[in-house]
Amino acid sequence: MRIIRGMCGRYTIRRPGLIKKLVYQSSFEEFSQIRIEPRFNIAPSQSVPVVRLNKEAVAAVKMVRWGLIPSWTKEKPKQQPINARAETVATSGMFRQALARRRCLVPADGFYEWQKLGDPKRPTKQPMYVHRDDDDVFAFAGLWERWKPDADAEPVDTFTIITTAPNALMSPIHDRMPVILSSADYNRWLSRDVPGEDVLDLLRPHAVDGFVADKVSTRCNSPRNDDCDCVAPLAE
């Protein structure tokens, strides 16, 4: 399996209980059956909580694996993208069906990006942790798919995070950032009654206000490290 890496490639859910705050009409019965541990270094190929509409068109929390497998593919692809570009998501064969029918919210309370410093030919990479200054939860714009290798197999649910151009906070760090949706837009993003082309205006850089970027240690470089030390700001 090959995961197509890009920005955003790591994020956090430090206080899982806040996911309920994010969901307006959550199926809490389903949520209560899922034990969600605090996560400080979520990496591709891992299963994490995602908010999507269930059969009754009610927002529900499900555990879904990060790295998209399209529902229409017959064989498990070697490339499983963790990100989709906002500029091409509506036209890409990999994503356009999911944009039309299977949009989701990816709860988070921070994400990592590695800033290149020093010699451009041999730069050092400084991990930066981007989060709200009040450490509240927010949601990335995501797409999900359900893939079955054959008729008798258990379905595999996967997702990807949409990225866009950076805002003023992110531009010194990286040339992309994840799409962070405003809470007022959650319902429109999730709605099956809204065509994919009618939500493209949401795929824009989020406002800088309320977000900060902290230098953190290289402990977050390894997905084996998943603890609060990953997000601890470095002393200046």
Give me the active site residues, please. 8, 113
Contact between residue 219 and residue 225 where contact means Cβ atoms under 8 Å apart: yes
Per-residue DSSP letter, 47 = E
Token pair 């992309």 is at which residue? 176
- Check: CB of residue 95 under 8 Å from CB of residue 89: yes
β 83-85/39-42 pair status: unpaired
How many whole angstroms separate alpha carbon 160 and alpha carbon 8? 10
Q: Are 215 and 223 in contact (CB under 8 A)?
A: no
C-alpha 178/C-alpha 186 separation (Å) is 15
Task: Supply the DSSP string of 138-152, one letter for each residue.
Answer: EEEEEEEEEE-SSTT
Identity of the amino acid at 118: G
User: 43 φ, ψ to 5°?
Assistant: -125, 160
